[in-house]
Amino acid sequence: MKKTLENIIKSRRSIFPSQYTNGVIPKTDLLKILESARWAPNHRKTEPWRYKVLQGNALTDLGEFIVEQFSLSTDKAVPLKLKKLQEKLEVTTAMILIFKYRDKKESIPEWEEIAAVSMSVQNMWLTTHNLGYGCYWSSPKPFVDMSEFKKITVEDREEFLGFFYIGTYNPEEVASSILTERKSIDQFTQFVD
């Protein structure tokens, strides 16, 4: 398929760790992904996105930290789902922790900052896809306080918005997931003359 912007947008998908092949992603490519994050639109030039990139042992540490946080929140046994999450992190090449920074002046409504971070993540998603890697945004776990994760520095006024998984994958093996159902334009648009 020709690499037009339209095709890149349409063929972008969530690619999950079960599809990752645990390959190497050069630092230059990670920097390209983060470079695209810089250019997202944002109101009053607050540039509210903050990212922490984890690789190698830091991913194992993250998995252990999430399990610890679960155990601190409840007496229940660690569910299989969380053990599986640790396995998912083992096949993930890089994890970008997504944070939103709220400026002290609070000069614009908070939703606009979340919107700007989301646009920045979409830039990364499209760039990751264009480079031939798989990725997806996973929501925060309610029982996890990421500011307690000692491997990263979380500043005051930074709020965690989720996990951006990145991995190598074989596009041929996930080709069947490319065609997903979407609403047609007339289902979500009102045209007015």
Ligand X SMILES: Cc1cc2nc3c(=O)[nH]c(=O)nc-3n(C[C@H](O)[C@H](O)[C@H](O)COP(=O)(O)O)c2cc1C
Binding mask 151-190 for ligand X (x = CB under 6 A): -----------x-----------------x----------
Burial class from Cβ neighbours inside 10 Å (0-12, 13-18, 19+) for residue 92 reads buried
Q: Are 167 and 15 in contact (CB under 8 A)?
A: yes
Q: Are 161 and 50 in contact (CB under 8 A)?
A: no
Q: Is 52 in the site for ligand X (CB under 6 A)?
A: no
Q: How big is the CA angle at 31 (ends 25 and 34), to the nearest 5 degrees?
A: 115
Q: Is 11 in the site for ligand X (CB under 6 A)?
A: no
DSSP 8-state secondary structure symbol assigned to residue 104: T
Site stretch for ligand X (CB under 6 A), options 42-50, 70-78, 106-114, 131-139: 131-139
Q: Is 28 in the site for ligand X (CB under 6 A)?
A: no
Site stretch for ligand X (CB under 6 A), options 50-58, 64-72, 75-83, 135-143: 135-143
Site stretch for ligand X (CB under 6 A), options 84-92, 107-115, 130-138, 184-192: 130-138
Cβ atoms within 10 Å, residue 9 = 12
Task: Return residues touching ligand X (CB under 6 A).
Answer: 13-14, 136-139, 162, 180
